[in-house]
Amino acid sequence: MNLTVICWFDRAERFTPNDATVKMLYGMYLVRAGKPREGIPKLESALELSEDNPNILYNLGLAYFDLKNFDKSLDLAHRAYSLGFPLPGLRDKLRRAGKWRDVP
């Protein structure tokens, strides 16, 4: 039996439908596979289950950045960093794009 990554994520979602981590990882996979429009709903679902999860906020911010929705990306970056997210990648991407603004 040769199952695809998508198949495994679909199985994981059915097995644990209220697991924010499964939805986050599935969304991250889709975004990194070049499918941010498919990944964002998974990440949004994860955020509904775990509203103050900086990992979800950060990765959702990266997805919106990929779609050039810089305002949404910036808002999510501010939320993630206010919760102590340690990686500077999203901030750096926003800076390079000329879209980073410090929290007022």
Q: What are phi and psi of 16, to 5 degrees?
A: -135, 75
For residue 63, give the CATH number of its domain: 1.25.40.10
Q: Is the pLDDT of residue 101 over 70?
A: yes
Per-residue pLDDT of 39-93, as tens digits, reads 999 999 999 999 999 999 999 999 999 999 999 999 999 999 999 999 999 999 9
Q: Is residue 101 part of a domain?
A: no
pTM check: above 0.85: yes
Q: Is residue 41 part of a domain?
A: yes
Which amino acid, residue 7?
A: C
Burial per residue of 35-48, b for 16 or more beta-carbon CB atoms within 10 angstroms, e otherwise = ebebbbebbebbbe
Q: Is residue 102 part of a domain?
A: no
CB-based contacts of 74: which residues, under 8 Å, 6+ apart? Answer: 61, 94, 99, 100, 101
What residue numbers bound the domain in which 44 lies?
5-96
Q: Is residue 68 part of a domain?
A: yes
At residue 103, the pLDDT reads: 87
Overall residue count recorded for the chain in this entry: 104
Confidence of residue 104 (pLDDT cuts 50, 70, 90): confident
At residue 79, the pLDDT reads: 98
d(CA 69, CA 78): 15
Q: Is residue 20 part of a domain?
A: yes
Q: How many domains are there within the chain? A: 1
Q: Is residue 104 part of a domain?
A: no
Residue 75, classified by CB atoms within 10 Å of its CB into exposed (0-12), middle (13-18) or buried (19+), is middle
Confidence of residue 1 (pLDDT cuts 50, 70, 90): low
